[in-house]
Amino acid sequence: MIDFFVNNIRSHENYMNSTINLIASENKLSYLTREALMSDYGNRVAEGWTGQRLFPGLRYYNEIEEKGIQLIKEMFNADFVDVRPISGTMANMVIYTAFTEPGDTIMAPAIKDGGHISMSGSTPKKVFKLNVIPIPMIEKHINIIDKEKTIQLIKEHKPKLLILGGSVILKKLDIDEICNVAHENSTIVQFDASHISGLIVGGEYPNPFDSGVDIITTSTCKTIPGPQHGLILSKEKFAQKIINSTFPALHSGHHLHHTIATFVTMYEMKIFGKRYTRQICKNINELGNCLKKYGFNIYEYSEGKFTDTHMLMILIDNAEFQTSLLERAGIIVNSNMVPWDKSHKQTTAIRIGTPEVTRIGMKEKDMKTIANFIKRVLIDGENPENIAIEVEKFMKKFTLIDYCYDARLWNKDNRNLEEQYV
């Protein structure tokens, strides 16, 4: 049995290293982040808030958590940070626990409009018994808010929470006026930045706090190339309720190896994040332009503009079948609902993102190659298995993780290592 487990792990590693991963919600860990994830911290428990632990033996962890929280505060310009949620979904659940009661009304993007299930699906509806009003969107567009209708609904229903952001964000959101109206009606504004938090840190996407957002929730494994974990950032007046709702309501041990790994990732983002996120955006735009030239129907939020972020949407019939063809060719993407789809089982879009391919060192010229692979599979109808052989050969050029420290160089003699990388 142990052979099965070991061989499966190795097979998966080899498989992912030989395929082109364009999943917008995935990424690769740096060398130092991996080391942190495998540390003894994974065996320890830290119940409670920093400085108020219920378990001893955490002298070093408490020190690093305090520094890590301060680092994240500075990077997001946040008053308060809770690093204990173990995922983005759990971060959202903390907010529901802190600020809502069963029967309360919230507003959030519908799943078909780019909302996540934890914003408008089973999590708020079935688990927390909340009434979820979909945020109105401009017809025939993806996650572009109809400002006038949204403001009208806020005034009419005065929801406890207004949740912005989501799983599909293509355009920089214009939310200043919406936030102002929400506050006038005693509505707390939350932004789920799980997909674009790395872009915020890197300066490629506006900080939602600057638009009046009260709370930001995020995962740490997408454009932030860290472990699967979650963060809550907020204005100071919301801090205590968040602290009390994370523990003891929803968390006991908060996976210390993941928090440590998150801190390592965030510091690497401080050093390398601008270059990394800039290249992510360059790559997705180049990939989109190449695919459009080949005749693919790329969603555009305005003429000639298909994304301000790390992802784009290919509008295509029978998307599930198309993604399966690409997977056979060694190209990993996911089908995705769009507003005009009638069911999540019959989708007409493919979501493509460039965080991971950028992470392993790909540039614009490599996007041309990837676009050609996709075209040969979906337009030319070439045998996917034959393309997979070419993909595997292509991927042999990308064996290192970029935009991070090299663990092999990390020793006490390399005191100026940061300067070397900036």
Give pLDDT tens digits for 366-392.
Answer: 999 999 999 999 999 999 999 999 999
Please indicate whether residue 253 or residue 227 has the higher confidence score (pLDDT): 227
Count of C-beta atoms within a 10 Å radius of residue 403: 23
* Residue that the structure tokens 């964000």 belong to: 169
Q: Residue 344: what pLDDT?
A: 78
Residue 165 φ then ψ, to 5°: 85, -150
Does residue 360 surpass a pLDDT of 60? yes
Q: Residue 341: what pLDDT?
A: 86
Does residue 140 surpass a pLDDT of 90? no
Q: Residue 406: what pLDDT?
A: 77
Does residue 350 surpass a pLDDT of 50? yes
CA 373 – CA 379 distance, rounded (Å): 10
Q: What is the CATH number of domain 31-266?
A: 3.40.640.10
CB 56 within 8 A of CB 270: no
Answer whether 20-28+273-395 and 31-266 agree in fold: no
**202-215 pLDDT, tens per residue?**
999 999 999 999 99
Q: What is the CATH number of domain 20-28+273-395?
A: 3.90.1150.10
Q: Compute the average pLDDT of residues 99-105.
A: 96
* 407 band by pLDDT with thresholds 50, 70 and 90: low
Mean pLDDT of the chain: 93
Pairing verdict, β 215-219 and 188-192? parallel
Q: Residue 97: what pLDDT?
A: 96
Residue 224 φ then ψ, to 5°: -85, 115
CA 350 – CA 318 distance, rounded (Å): 10
Q: pTM (2 decimals)?
A: 0.94
* 415 band by pLDDT with thresholds 50, 70 and 90: very low
**264-274 pLDDT, tens per residue?**
999 999 999 99
* Residue that the structure tokens 């928090």 belong to: 259
Domain residue limits, the chain: 20-28+273-395, 31-266
Q: Give first-to-last CA distance, the chain, whole Å.
A: 46
